[in-house]
Amino acid sequence: MSSRLKFLIIGAGILLAMEWRAWWYTLTPTPDYSHGKVLLYATDWCPYCEKTRALLQQRQISYQEVNIERSAEAQAQYQRLAGKGVPVLLIAGEVVRGYNEQRISAALDQWQARQAQTMLQPNMMKEK
C-alpha cells in the first residue's frame, strides 16, 4: 500500500473519530422536540440569539426558548441535534443552526404554509 493511501486512510479515520457524534446525528432522523412548533435553543449572552428573538418577534411567531446553559434537558436535546453553537432553531422538526436570516425565514415560511394547510383541511372535509 502506498504511503499516500495510508495517509488518507489514517486522516479519514481521525476525522471520523473526532466528529463521530455529528456523523451519527446526521445519519439518524432528527427528533422533533418542538412537537410541531418553534423551539429556540439559546443563551442569555449570545448576540445572534438576540437577533433570532428579534426576527421571531418581528414576524409575530410564538416560540418556546430554552437556555442550554441552565437546563440539563435542553443541553442534552441541543447535543442530540448536533448543536455546535447557538442559536439552534427547531421549527417543526427542521433544524436551523446559527443565525441565517434567509434560512430561518424560509423554514418559517414553510412551517406557516403547512400550518395554514392543516387548518384548511378539516374545513374542506366538512364541506364534502
Strands 88-91 and 38-42: antiparallel
Q: Do 23 and 52 belong to one domain?
A: no
Domain containing 68 equals 31-127
Mean pLDDT (whole number) for 103-117: 92
Sheet containing 38-42: which strands, arranged edge to edge? 64-67, 38-42, 88-91, 94-97
pLDDT at residue number 3? 84
Mean pLDDT (whole number) for 68-94: 89
Q: Do 14 and 63 belong to one domain?
A: no
The predicted model scores a pTM of 0.72
Biggest CA-to-CA distance, the chain: 72
Q: Which of 29-33, 36-40, 56-60 has the highest mean pLDDT?
A: 56-60
- Specify the higher pLDDT residue, 73 or 26: 73
Q: In the chain, where do the E strands start and end?
A: 38-42, 64-67, 88-91, 94-97
Q: Is the pLDDT of residue 15 over 80?
A: no
Neighbour-count burial of 70, counting CB atoms closer than 10 A to its CB (0-12 exposed, 13-18 middle, 19+ buried): exposed
Peptide bond into 87 cis (omega under 30): yes
Q: Is the pLDDT of residue 126 over 60?
A: no
Q: Do 44 and 80 belong to one domain?
A: yes
How many structural domains compose the chain?
2
DSSP string, 58-73: HTT---EEEETTT-HH
Q: Please name the residue that has the C-alpha cell 473526532.
A: 18
